[in-house]
Amino acid sequence: MDIRIPTMIAVGENSGSAGIYGLNSSVFFTFLTSSVIVFFLSQILCKKERGNKSSLHNNYKLNLCNFNILEDFPNICRMEIHIYSLSILIDKKVKIGGERMNWEPKNFKLEATTIWNFPERGNWATHNGEYRGNWSPYVPRNIISRYSQKDDIVLDQFMGSGTTLIETKLLQRKGIGVEINPETIKIAKKSLNFDKNRDYEPRIYNGDARNLYFIPNNSIDLICTHPPYSNIIKYSQGIKGDLSNCDVDEFIYEMGAVVRECFRVLKEDKYCAILMGDTRKSKHIVPLGFNVMEKYLETGFLLKEIIIKEQHNCNTTNFWYEKSVRYNFLLIAHEYLFVFRKPKF
């Protein structure tokens, strides 16, 4: 028998009462007592989990109840209470984040040189390394802090799992995210659903970085983005417009359209930062980074900085080390972070 208690209750408030029919009084009494115990236990657990982002998608089992945060509604916690053959579902609103969450990296200092190195990728707020190829939050934090002000509009048109937008929200910028893959948008929305700076919820579009028709000319204060590196990591199977399905030549050609849109939407005298890595073909380097840089320069951007970002996820296992020596090639261990400025006319 399933009894659903559909009432959404805010943390700390009392649960709605459930109508329960056809039960004798002792069963009902046991049920009531157990519910009260479970309710108070869940209060404690909910409070604990609010501060613990790594637990968002896990299930919790008590003797009497399953404790489950729903994937589709990350701020709703569902308790399943089992007593005899009775099961009761209670949906409960929870806050993601709380006083225990670390909202800031510890001892953060702006980078001051052209070599950036973040061996610990950063796990404050809801950041995690689960989305393949996501960037360290230290990168957008540095870019946003250095090149924009509070309340500025910041665009990431290759949003991925939302790392940049978590930072725009934390740093009180108005974030805009664009992502071609609707499944990825769900991941980003989950990570962005935290209770800090709710006035700075970003706007998210399922769209194509090559055509930002929904963004007016000269309206963006900063672009901070991280496209796929051609087809090194494929982010989808056959989504039309996904640049991670393009080979090198096609990718560089399509990046021309991306760069033209950057130029159109960015305000004059403002910055566009883009992270790009190289690849290798037949033991020779393919300078994707420089190829993309050329597109920016051709379009009229000025080059403000070239930053070398050390890579820590590159494959330096013995297998690759031996291959590198035997076949005489070096393992790529850096990416380029280009910062361009749109000139003032």
Q: Which is nearer to ligand SAM, 250 or 269 (CB)?
A: 250
- Binding status of residue 75 toward ligand SAM by CB under 6 A: no
Residues 242-261 touching ligand SAM, rule: CB under 6 A, are 242-244
Residue with smallest beta-carbon separation from ligand SAM: 160
Task: Give the separation between CA 14 and CA 175, rounded to whole angstroms.
Answer: 36
Q: Please answer whether residues 145 and 125 qualify as being in contact, where contact means their C-beta atoms are separated by less than 8 angstroms.
A: no
For the record, the structure tokens of 147 come out as: 């090149």
173 φ/ψ angles, rounded to the nearest 5 degrees: -110, 160
CB-hemisphere CA count at 13 Å for 146? 20
Provide the minimum distance between the beta carbon of 104 and ligand SAM in the complex, in angstroms, as a whole number: 18
Provide the minimum distance between the beta carbon of 345 and ligand SAM in the complex, in angstroms, as a whole number: 28
- Binding status of residue 278 toward ligand SAM by CB under 6 A: no
Task: Give the separation between CA 293 and CA 242, rounded to whole angstroms.
Answer: 20
Rule CB under 6 A: choose which of 49, 152, 167, 179 binds ligand SAM: 179
Q: Which is nearer to ligand SAM, 77 or 155 (CB)?
A: 155
Provide the minimum distance between the beta carbon of 95 and ligand SAM in the complex, in angstroms, as a whole number: 24
Site string for ligand SAM, 191-210 (x = CB under 6 A): -----------------xxx
Q: Which is nearer to ligand SAM, 124 or 135 (CB)?
A: 135
Provide the minimum distance between the beta carbon of 90 and ligand SAM in the complex, in angstroms, as a whole number: 34
Site string for ligand SAM, 81-120 (x = CB under 6 A): ----------------------------------------
Which residues 6+ apart lie within 8 Å of 260 measured at CB?
A: 299
Task: Give the separation between CA 194 and CA 49, rounded to whole angstroms.
Answer: 13
Provide the minimum distance between the beta carbon of 158 and ligand SAM in the complex, in angstroms, as a whole number: 4
C-alpha 337: how far from chain center: 19
Q: Which is nearer to ligand SAM, 39 or 118 (CB)?
A: 118
Rule CB under 6 A: choose which of 31, 67, 235, 271 binds ligand SAM: 235
Q: Please answer whether residues 178 and 242 qualify as being in contact, where contact means their C-beta atoms are separated by less than 8 angstroms.
A: no
- Binding status of residue 128 toward ligand SAM by CB under 6 A: no
Q: Which is nearer to ligand SAM, 46 or 160 (CB)?
A: 160
Provide the minimum distance between the beta carbon of 296 and ligand SAM in the complex, in angstroms, as a whole number: 17
Q: Which is nearer to ligand SAM, 34 or 244 (CB)?
A: 244
Cβ neighbourhood burial of 80 (10 Å; 0-12, 13-18, 19+): middle
> Helix crossing, 163-170 with 182-192: angle to 10°?
30
- The candidate with the shortest Cα–Cα distance to 97, out of 44, 54, 55, 50, is 50
DSSP type of residue 304? E
Provide the minimum distance between the beta carbon of 60 and ligand SAM in the complex, in angstroms, as a whole number: 27
Q: Which is nearer to ligand SAM, 160 or 202 (CB)?
A: 160
Cβ neighbourhood burial of 285 (10 Å; 0-12, 13-18, 19+): middle
- Binding status of residue 158 toward ligand SAM by CB under 6 A: yes
Q: Indicate the SS3 state at residue 318.
A: helix
Task: Give the separation between CA 209 and CA 269, rounded to whole angstroms.
Answer: 21
Rule CB under 6 A: choose which of 42, 161, 168, 230 binds ligand SAM: 161
- Binding status of residue 131 toward ligand SAM by CB under 6 A: yes
Task: Give the separation between CA 89 and CA 5, rounded to whole angstroms.
Answer: 6
Q: Indicate the SS3 state at residue 89.
A: strand
For the record, the structure tokens of 45 come out as: 């657990």
Q: Tell me, by CB under 6 A, how many residues bind ligand SAM.
A: 25
By the criterion CB under 6 A, which residues form the site for ligand SAM? Answer: 131, 133-135, 157-158, 160-161, 163, 178-181, 184, 208-210, 226-228, 235, 241-244
